[in-house]
Structure 1
């Protein structure tokens, strides 16, 4: 659950703010900015799925 939450927050932050664009520009990888959407959005979905699995396991473990 912690991995899903932290990963989802970091990925969402990178999706909705230009942090990665600035970082790639500073490092000289500006040509890769166009491909970020192909990686970031599926990664966000994976982390949200991990979070939901963690919440379900926590609820099942604690009989909620």
Structure 2
């Protein structure tokens, strides 16, 4: 026999499903893991290096933003 808490959870989930939603499990990196900060810095440095070598990137991004302005 389910506990009152499990009944409330089931009722809430059933209501969400009835509203057309479904549960999704998302796995994300563990920010507490040793080495996480080092890896973030490594990847950020790679991106910065790639951006530095791309002369037209800022112009391209600015042009793209102009096209997006006003979208809803």
TM range (shorter): 0.3 to 0.5
Q: TM-score, normalised by structure 1?
A: 0.36
Q: TM-score, normalised by structure 2?
A: 0.32
Query: Which protein shows a greater Rg?
Result: 2
Q: Which has the higher contact order (CA 8 A, sep 6+)?
A: 1
